[in-house]
Amino acid sequence: MTHSPKRTSSPAYWFFYLLFWPDTWRIFMGVAASALLVPVIAPPDLTPGGRVVLYVMVAAIGWAVSAIPAGWITGLLKKLILGDNRR
């Protein structure tokens, strides 16, 4: 009997792993929230270091509050793409 190479090395495996991983969506939503909100809420006299800290803080808050929507997104994608073959 021969052994097939591990499927985990294929790009398709990683693509779908990241697509179905809720943290991918949480990170995306956190970064998007940061990119959209910080230019609006940052005071004009904020130093560059302060601006970086504000971007990181808003991204972290966006990541934290997006757990439920990320679960909905991955559940919907699994249902649409995998159908009855879900595990």
DSSP characters over 23-86: HHHHHHHHHHHHHHHHHHHS-TT--HHHHHHHHHHHHHHHHHHTHHHHHHHHHHHHHHHHGGG-
Report the pLDDT value the prediction gives residue 17, as an integer from 0 to 100: 87
Report the pLDDT value the prediction gives residue 44, as an integer from 0 to 100: 93
Residue 6 placed within a domain: no
Residue 4 placed within a domain: no
Report the pLDDT value the prediction gives residue 3, as an integer from 0 to 100: 55
List the structure tokens of 10: 């294929």
Residue 31 placed within a domain: yes
Report the pLDDT value the prediction gives residue 9, as an integer from 0 to 100: 78
Q: How many domains does the chain have?
A: 1
Residue 7 placed within a domain: no
Residue 68 placed within a domain: yes
Q: Which ranges of the chain have pLDDT less than 50?
A: none
Residue 52 placed within a domain: yes
Question: Which residue range(s) make up the domain with 64?
Answer: 20-85
pTM of the prediction?
Answer: 0.78
